[in-house]
Structure 1
Amino acid sequence: MAIAVVASATLASKIAFMGWGLGVESLDFTGISGHAAMSSTLYPVIFWLLASGRSPRPWAWAIAGAALAVAIAWSRVPLGAHSLSEIIVGLGLGITASACVLRGAQMPAGMVAARIHVALLAIVAGATVPILMADLHTHDMVKATAKALSGRERALERDDLRSYSSPIKRHQ
């Protein structure tokens, strides 16, 4: 459920900008960073699952997972893929989702093996899906969806944030 909520919010923010120009110019915000949001949703939980029952401090491992997510998120800034505001919102959303999952994650000790299997399955899926679906260009799919929903001829891009008259920009 947490993954679906985070992914939906991220997708909605991207479509809102690409289709209708809903962004915040002063923050250079054009949509939630998917890398930041998804890595901070997944890695703290995966690390906690792997450590739970094996380590006296599974929460320390969840924090290590969050640190990995921060590193992944930060890597997007020098690449010019996202602004700092997009990274911060993505991390905030993902860490909140992880915290909600981990807060309700107290399982009986006999479930340790099941937790590890779930974590390993998530790792295997995360490693194989990009290989199996290498030709799937999700950014292009988001752009096409934004164009179709908004009726625009082309999806807006970061450079358009400064020139497009967005309702959010007018209220700054």
Structure 2
Amino acid sequence: MPVAALLAIWLAGARAWKPFFLWCFLFGSGIVLVVATKIAYIGWGAGIAAIDFTGISGHAMRATAIAPALMAILLQKQTRQIQQLGLLAGLVFGIAIGISRLAIHVHSVAEVVSGCLLGAVVGAGFAWLIRNRPVFFDRKLLVIGVLALLPVLTLKPAPTESWMESVAYYLSGKERPAQTTNLESVTTEYR
């Protein structure tokens, strides 16, 4: 999430307003879909048991959205072929993060695939929408952004799991999960 915020700040700092609003809209929409599926499962048990789906993987979605978008900005001055290779590298990175979620057993294949697909739509969509825009890459902004991220890396992750649970319980009017099957995989992701 800090890198997603850095991208937004970077675009705003470069006064690239259309890409800034595109990024905020696309990435924000992806996050809303992830959170909505998790709240629906926690609050009402809305999932697909046959494929072990309890909500879109947020890690897979974020990685597969952010990495291609970052590559699109970093490689703006490069040839179209290098830009495409960068986009592909960003997508592969996101898929690798998704696979890591499977390896540590916090998500099902359906959750990771849906996260990667949603993230790819966000990241590749952003890259495609800015492909013919004027160059707004600025090394000074990159250095400032990286330096600004360093302290963030030492912070404890936000308790998003408990926030989603609280919202789900409030909205559903329940005091405990509607369904416990694989709920641990939903809540473990944020621990």
TM-score for the superposition, normalised by structure 2: 0.72
Q: Which structure's relative contact order is higher, taking Cα pairs within 8 Å and 6+ residues apart?
A: 1
Question: Percent sequence identity over matched residues?
Answer: 28
1:71 and 2:96 aligned: yes
Counterparts of 1:147-158 in structure 2, within 5 Å, are 147-155=169-177, 156-158=179-181
Change (3 A) 1:157 1:49: farther
CA distance in 2, matches of 1:8, 1:98: 15
Contact 1:2 1:41 (C-alpha < 8 Å) held by counterparts: no
RMSD: 2.5
Residue 100 in structure 1 maps to residue 125 in structure 2: yes
Aligned residues: 157
The answer for unaligned runs of 5 or more in structure 2 is 1-24, 184-191
Please give the secondary structure, in 2, of the residue aligned with 1:76: helix
Task: Name the counterpart of 1:15.
Answer: 39
Cα deviations by residue, 1:138-165 (Å, 9 ceiling, x for unpaired): 11111111111111111344446xxxxx
Residues 29-68 of structure 1 correspond to what in structure 2 (within 5 A)?
Answer: 29-54=53-78, 57-68=82-93
**TM-score when normalising by structure 1:** 0.80
Q: Distance in 1 between matches of 2:90 and 2:142?
A: 16
Whole-angstrom distance in 2 between the partners of 1:89 and 1:125: 31
User: What SS does the corresponding residue of 1:22 show, helix, strand or coil?
Assistant: coil
Contiguous gaps of at least 5 residues in structure 1: 161-172
The Cα shift of 1:112 comes to 3.2
1:3 is aligned to 27
Comparing 134-143 with 19-28, which one deviates more in the overlay? 134-143
CA shift, 1:55, in A, is: 5.4
